[in-house]
Protein backbone atom coordinates (compact mmCIF):
# COMPACT_ATOMS: atom_id res chain seq x y z
CA UNK A 1 0.00 0.00 0.00
CA UNK A 2 1.84 3.06 -1.20
CA UNK A 3 2.02 5.73 1.48
CA UNK A 4 -0.31 8.59 0.61
CA UNK A 5 1.49 11.75 -0.38
CA UNK A 6 0.79 14.86 1.68
CA UNK A 7 -2.57 15.83 0.22
CA UNK A 8 -2.89 19.22 1.87
CA UNK A 9 -3.61 21.21 -1.30
CA UNK A 10 -1.56 24.25 -2.22
CA UNK A 11 -2.67 27.61 -0.80
CA UNK A 12 -4.34 28.65 -4.10
CA UNK A 13 -6.45 25.44 -4.12
CA UNK A 14 -7.42 26.21 -0.55
CA UNK A 15 -8.36 29.77 -1.40
CA UNK A 16 -10.36 28.47 -4.37
CA UNK A 17 -12.22 25.96 -2.21
CA UNK A 18 -12.99 28.61 0.42
CA UNK A 19 -14.23 30.94 -2.31
CA UNK A 20 -16.63 28.25 -3.54
CA UNK A 21 -17.68 27.55 0.06
CA UNK A 22 -18.51 31.20 0.58
CA UNK A 23 -20.06 31.88 -2.80
CA UNK A 24 -22.31 28.82 -3.22
CA UNK A 25 -25.51 30.88 -3.55
CA UNK A 26 -26.78 32.00 -0.17
CA UNK A 27 -26.46 28.40 1.05
CA UNK A 28 -22.69 28.44 1.40
CA UNK A 29 -21.47 25.39 3.27
CA UNK A 30 -22.55 25.58 6.89
CA UNK A 31 -19.31 24.93 8.67
CA UNK A 32 -16.77 27.41 9.96
CA UNK A 33 -13.84 26.98 7.57
CA UNK A 34 -12.03 30.07 8.85
CA UNK A 35 -9.57 28.44 11.26
CA UNK A 36 -8.74 25.05 9.75
CA UNK A 37 -5.32 23.43 9.81
CA UNK A 38 -3.57 22.76 6.48
CA UNK A 39 -5.28 19.36 6.31
CA UNK A 40 -8.72 21.01 6.81
CA UNK A 41 -9.12 19.63 10.36
CA UNK A 42 -10.33 21.70 13.33
CA UNK A 43 -10.75 21.16 17.09
CA UNK A 44 -13.95 19.57 18.44
CA UNK A 45 -14.60 22.33 20.96
CA UNK A 46 -16.98 20.35 23.17
CA UNK A 47 -17.91 23.28 25.41
CA UNK A 48 -19.54 25.01 22.44
CA UNK A 49 -22.38 22.46 22.20
CA UNK A 50 -25.47 23.93 23.87
CA UNK A 51 -27.98 21.96 26.00
CA UNK A 52 -30.46 22.31 23.11
CA UNK A 53 -27.93 20.74 20.73
CA UNK A 54 -27.26 17.91 23.18
CA UNK A 55 -31.02 17.36 23.28
CA UNK A 56 -31.26 17.27 19.48
CA UNK A 57 -28.52 14.62 19.50
CA UNK A 58 -30.41 12.49 22.08
CA UNK A 59 -33.68 12.74 20.15
CA UNK A 60 -32.03 11.91 16.81
CA UNK A 61 -30.23 8.95 18.38
CA UNK A 62 -33.33 7.58 20.14
CA UNK A 63 -35.53 7.81 17.03
CA UNK A 64 -32.94 6.14 14.81
CA UNK A 65 -31.99 3.46 17.35
CA UNK A 66 -35.63 2.30 17.61
CA UNK A 67 -35.77 1.75 13.83
CA UNK A 68 -32.63 -0.39 13.59
CA UNK A 69 -33.89 -3.90 14.51
CA UNK A 70 -34.62 -5.86 11.31
CA UNK A 71 -33.22 -3.06 9.14
CA UNK A 72 -29.56 -2.44 10.10
CA UNK A 73 -26.99 -5.09 9.19
CA UNK A 74 -25.60 -7.30 11.95
CA UNK A 75 -22.13 -5.73 11.79
CA UNK A 76 -23.59 -2.25 12.41
CA UNK A 77 -25.83 -3.44 15.25
CA UNK A 78 -23.01 -5.25 17.05
CA UNK A 79 -20.59 -2.33 16.64
CA UNK A 80 -23.21 0.11 17.93
CA UNK A 81 -23.74 -2.09 20.99
CA UNK A 82 -20.04 -1.64 21.85
CA UNK A 83 -20.32 2.14 21.67
CA UNK A 84 -22.10 4.33 24.15
CA UNK A 85 -23.15 7.67 22.74
CA UNK A 86 -26.93 7.74 23.21
CA UNK A 87 -26.89 10.32 25.99
CA UNK A 88 -24.66 13.03 24.56
CA UNK A 89 -22.75 14.21 21.52
CA UNK A 90 -19.69 11.93 21.39
CA UNK A 91 -16.22 13.20 22.23
CA UNK A 92 -13.99 12.19 19.28
CA UNK A 93 -10.88 11.79 21.45
CA UNK A 94 -12.69 9.28 23.68
CA UNK A 95 -13.95 7.25 20.71
CA UNK A 96 -10.50 7.43 19.10
CA UNK A 97 -9.01 5.44 21.96
CA UNK A 98 -11.43 2.57 21.23
CA UNK A 99 -11.16 2.94 17.45
CA UNK A 100 -7.35 2.86 17.46
CA UNK A 101 -7.44 -0.50 19.24
CA UNK A 102 -10.23 -1.93 17.08
CA UNK A 103 -9.11 -1.07 13.53
CA UNK A 104 -6.34 1.54 13.83
CA UNK A 105 -8.61 4.32 12.47
CA UNK A 106 -8.92 7.82 13.90
CA UNK A 107 -11.77 10.33 13.66
CA UNK A 108 -10.67 13.84 12.71
CA UNK A 109 -12.96 16.84 13.40
CA UNK A 110 -13.74 18.87 10.25
CA UNK A 111 -15.95 21.91 9.47
CA UNK A 112 -17.98 19.91 6.92
CA UNK A 113 -17.60 18.73 3.32
CA UNK A 114 -14.00 18.71 2.10
CA UNK A 115 -12.51 18.81 -1.40
CA UNK A 116 -12.41 15.28 -2.82
CA UNK A 117 -8.64 14.94 -2.77
CA UNK A 118 -8.42 16.14 0.85
CA UNK A 119 -11.16 13.70 1.83
CA UNK A 120 -9.45 10.83 0.00
CA UNK A 121 -6.13 11.75 1.58
CA UNK A 122 -7.60 11.35 5.06
CA UNK A 123 -9.24 7.99 4.23
CA UNK A 124 -5.96 6.76 2.71
CA UNK A 125 -4.30 7.46 6.07
CA UNK A 126 -7.12 5.74 8.07
CA UNK A 127 -8.49 9.08 9.27
CA UNK A 128 -12.27 9.55 9.00
CA UNK A 129 -13.42 13.20 8.75
CA UNK A 130 -16.39 13.85 11.07
CA UNK A 131 -18.30 17.15 10.88
CA UNK A 132 -18.35 19.00 14.23
CA UNK A 133 -21.66 20.93 13.89
CA UNK A 134 -25.17 19.52 14.48
CA UNK A 135 -28.35 20.31 12.57
CA UNK A 136 -30.90 22.93 13.69
CA UNK A 137 -34.22 21.86 15.20
CA UNK A 138 -36.09 22.65 11.99
CA UNK A 139 -33.80 20.21 10.14
CA UNK A 140 -34.70 17.35 12.46
CA UNK A 141 -36.24 15.29 9.67
CA UNK A 142 -34.08 16.25 6.71
CA UNK A 143 -30.71 17.87 6.24
CA UNK A 144 -28.88 18.67 3.01
CA UNK A 145 -25.24 18.58 4.17
CA UNK A 146 -23.85 15.83 6.42
CA UNK A 147 -23.81 16.98 10.07
CA UNK A 148 -22.24 15.23 13.08
CA UNK A 149 -25.24 12.91 13.42
CA UNK A 150 -24.98 11.66 9.83
CA UNK A 151 -21.21 11.31 9.99
CA UNK A 152 -21.00 9.80 13.45
CA UNK A 153 -24.15 7.68 13.80
CA UNK A 154 -24.04 6.67 10.11
CA UNK A 155 -20.36 6.04 9.49
CA UNK A 156 -18.48 5.49 12.76
CA UNK A 157 -19.90 2.13 13.95
CA UNK A 158 -18.78 0.34 10.77
CA UNK A 159 -15.28 1.76 11.14
CA UNK A 160 -15.08 -0.88 13.90
CA UNK A 161 -15.58 -3.63 11.28
CA UNK A 162 -12.19 -4.70 9.93
CA UNK A 163 -13.45 -5.34 6.36
CA UNK A 164 -15.15 -1.95 6.04
CA UNK A 165 -12.14 -0.31 7.71
CA UNK A 166 -9.83 -1.81 5.07
CA UNK A 167 -12.27 -1.09 2.23
CA UNK A 168 -12.46 2.58 3.18
CA UNK A 169 -8.69 2.97 3.25
CA UNK A 170 -8.39 1.21 -0.15
CA UNK A 171 -11.12 3.54 -1.37
CA UNK A 172 -9.13 6.58 -0.23
CA UNK A 173 -5.98 5.34 -1.99
CA UNK A 174 -8.03 4.59 -5.11
CA UNK A 175 -9.55 8.05 -4.94
CA UNK A 176 -6.15 9.72 -4.99
CA UNK A 177 -5.31 7.68 -8.11
CA UNK A 178 -8.71 8.35 -9.71
CA UNK A 179 -8.17 12.07 -9.21
CA UNK A 180 -4.97 11.79 -11.26
CA UNK A 181 -6.80 9.75 -13.92
CA UNK A 182 -9.68 12.23 -13.96
CA UNK A 183 -12.03 9.35 -13.06
CA UNK A 184 -13.47 10.73 -9.81
CA UNK A 185 -17.10 10.51 -10.91
CA UNK A 186 -16.87 6.70 -11.12
CA UNK A 187 -15.42 6.41 -7.62
CA UNK A 188 -17.91 8.93 -6.26
CA UNK A 189 -20.68 6.61 -7.52
CA UNK A 190 -18.98 3.62 -5.90
CA UNK A 191 -18.82 5.52 -2.58
CA UNK A 192 -22.40 6.62 -2.92
CA UNK A 193 -23.87 3.17 -3.69
CA UNK A 194 -21.81 1.36 -1.04
CA UNK A 195 -20.60 3.44 1.94
CA UNK A 196 -23.48 5.90 1.75
CA UNK A 197 -26.44 3.85 0.42
CA UNK A 198 -25.32 0.21 0.35
CA UNK A 199 -27.40 -2.86 1.28
CA UNK A 200 -26.00 -6.25 2.27
CA UNK A 201 -27.59 -9.74 2.13
CA UNK A 202 -27.38 -10.67 5.82
CA UNK A 203 -28.38 -14.25 6.78
CA UNK A 204 -31.81 -13.05 7.95
CA UNK A 205 -32.48 -10.82 4.95
CA UNK A 206 -31.44 -7.66 3.11
CA UNK A 207 -30.13 -5.08 5.58
CA UNK A 208 -28.62 -1.58 5.41
CA UNK A 209 -24.93 -0.81 5.85
CA UNK A 210 -24.84 2.60 4.07
CA UNK A 211 -24.51 5.59 6.40
CA UNK A 212 -26.98 7.69 4.43
CA UNK A 213 -29.61 5.01 5.03
CA UNK A 214 -28.69 4.19 8.63
CA UNK A 215 -28.83 7.85 9.73
CA UNK A 216 -32.18 8.63 8.04
CA UNK A 217 -35.50 7.49 9.54
CA UNK A 218 -37.39 7.62 6.25
CA UNK A 219 -34.73 6.11 4.04
CA UNK A 220 -34.03 3.23 6.44
CA UNK A 221 -37.60 1.99 6.01
CA UNK A 222 -37.73 2.85 2.30
CA UNK A 223 -34.45 1.17 1.33
CA UNK A 224 -35.01 -2.04 3.30
CA UNK A 225 -38.78 -2.56 3.04
CA UNK A 226 -40.49 -0.38 0.43
CA UNK A 227 -41.82 -2.35 -2.58
CA UNK A 228 -41.12 0.61 -4.88
CA UNK A 229 -37.42 0.77 -4.02
CA UNK A 230 -35.39 -1.03 -6.71
CA UNK A 231 -32.83 -3.44 -5.24
CA UNK A 232 -30.18 -4.95 -7.53
CA UNK A 233 -27.27 -7.30 -6.96
CA UNK A 234 -24.02 -5.36 -6.62
CA UNK A 235 -22.27 -5.11 -10.03
CA UNK A 236 -19.17 -2.90 -10.04
CA UNK A 237 -19.51 -1.67 -13.66
CA UNK A 238 -23.23 -1.02 -13.25
CA UNK A 239 -22.59 0.94 -10.05
CA UNK A 240 -19.93 3.08 -11.72
CA UNK A 241 -22.24 3.81 -14.68
CA UNK A 242 -25.26 4.79 -12.58
CA UNK A 243 -25.86 8.43 -11.68
CA UNK A 244 -27.32 9.18 -8.24
CA UNK A 245 -29.75 11.61 -6.63
CA UNK A 246 -28.51 13.78 -3.78
CA UNK A 247 -31.76 15.33 -2.60
CA UNK A 248 -34.25 12.47 -2.45
CA UNK A 249 -34.46 8.77 -1.56
CA UNK A 250 -32.39 6.67 -3.97
CA UNK A 251 -34.27 5.04 -6.85
CA UNK A 252 -31.94 2.04 -6.91
CA UNK A 253 -29.95 0.30 -4.15
CA UNK A 254 -27.18 -2.25 -4.75
CA UNK A 255 -26.98 -5.36 -2.54
CA UNK A 256 -23.61 -6.98 -1.81
CA UNK A 257 -23.49 -10.64 -0.70
CA UNK A 258 -21.01 -9.71 2.03
CA UNK A 259 -18.40 -7.11 2.96
CA UNK A 260 -15.78 -9.60 1.76
CA UNK A 261 -17.32 -9.44 -1.72
CA UNK A 262 -17.23 -5.64 -1.53
CA UNK A 263 -13.51 -5.68 -0.68
CA UNK A 264 -12.59 -8.36 -3.24
CA UNK A 265 -14.54 -6.71 -6.08
CA UNK A 266 -12.90 -3.36 -5.52
CA UNK A 267 -9.35 -4.53 -4.76
CA UNK A 268 -7.98 -4.64 -8.33
CA UNK A 269 -6.52 -1.60 -10.06
CA UNK A 270 -9.30 0.36 -11.78
CA UNK A 271 -7.28 2.12 -14.50
CA UNK A 272 -8.42 -0.27 -17.27
CA UNK A 273 -11.96 -0.15 -15.91
CA UNK A 274 -12.06 3.64 -16.18
CA UNK A 275 -11.02 3.48 -19.84
CA UNK A 276 -13.75 0.92 -20.56
CA UNK A 277 -16.31 3.04 -18.70
CA UNK A 278 -15.51 6.04 -20.89
CA UNK A 279 -17.03 4.09 -23.79
CA UNK A 280 -20.11 2.88 -21.85
CA UNK A 281 -23.34 4.86 -21.47
CA UNK A 282 -24.11 6.60 -18.19
CA UNK A 283 -27.28 5.20 -16.65
CA UNK A 284 -30.05 7.02 -14.85
CA UNK A 285 -31.03 5.26 -11.63
**Catalytic residue numbers, as ranges:** 150, 155, 196, 215
Does position 211 bind Fe ion by CB under 5 A? yes
Does position 33 bind ligand HBI by CB under 6 A? no
Q: How many CA atoms lie within 13 A of 262 on its CB side?
A: 26
Q: Which is nearer to ligand HBI, 43 or 225 (CB)?
A: 43
Segment contacting ligand HBI by CB under 6 A, of 50-58, 107-115, 224-232, 252-260: 107-115
Q: Which is nearer to ligand HBI, 110 or 236 (CB)?
A: 110
Q: Label residue 96 exposed, middle or buried (CB < 10 Å: 0-12, 13-18, 19+).
A: middle
Does position 176 bind ligand HBI by CB under 6 A? no
Contacts of residue 167, Cβ cutoff 8 Å, sequence gap at least 6: 194, 259, 262, 263, 266
Q: Length of the chain, please?
A: 285
Q: Which is nearer to ligand HBI, 145 or 265 (CB)?
A: 145
Angle at 236 between CA 122 and CA 120, to 5 degrees: 10
Does position 164 bind ligand HBI by CB under 6 A? no
Does position 254 bind ligand HBI by CB under 6 A? no
Does position 143 bind ligand HBI by CB under 6 A? no
Does position 170 bind ligand HBI by CB under 6 A? no
Minimal distance in Å, beta carbon 173 to ligand HBI? Answer: 13
What is the size of the binding site for ligand HBI (CB under 6 A)?
Answer: 9
Which one of ligand HBI, Fe ion, none is in contact with 211 (Cβ closer than 5 to 8 A by kind)?
Fe ion
Closest-CB residue for Fe ion?
A: 211
Report the 10 Å Cβ neighbour count for 237: 12
- Residues 89, 156: Cα–Cα separation, whole Å: 13
* Contacts made by residues 15-19, CB under 8 angstroms, sequence distance 24+: 17/115
Strands 127-131 and 106-110: parallel
Q: Which is nearer to ligand HBI, 120 or 160 (CB)?
A: 120
Segment contacting ligand HBI by CB under 6 A, of 56-64, 97-105, 111-119, 156-164: 111-119
Partners of 130 in beta bridges: 109
Contact predicate 131/151, CB 8 Å: yes
Does position 188 bind ligand HBI by CB under 6 A? yes
Binds ligand HBI (CB under 6 A): choice among 153, 191, 249, 259? 191
Does position 110 bind ligand HBI by CB under 6 A? yes
Q: Label residue 214 exposed, middle or buried (CB < 10 Å: 0-12, 13-18, 19+).
A: buried
Q: Which is nearer to ligand HBI, 119 or 274 (CB)?
A: 119
Does position 252 bind ligand HBI by CB under 6 A? no
Amino acid sequence: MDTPRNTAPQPDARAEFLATVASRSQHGLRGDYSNMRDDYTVEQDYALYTPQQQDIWRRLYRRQHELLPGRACAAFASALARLDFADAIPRFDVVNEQLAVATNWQLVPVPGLLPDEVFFGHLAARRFPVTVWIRAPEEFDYIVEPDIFHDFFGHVPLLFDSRIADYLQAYGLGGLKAKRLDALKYLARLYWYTIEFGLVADPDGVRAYGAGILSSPGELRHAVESPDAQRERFDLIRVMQTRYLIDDFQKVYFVVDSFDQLFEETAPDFSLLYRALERLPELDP
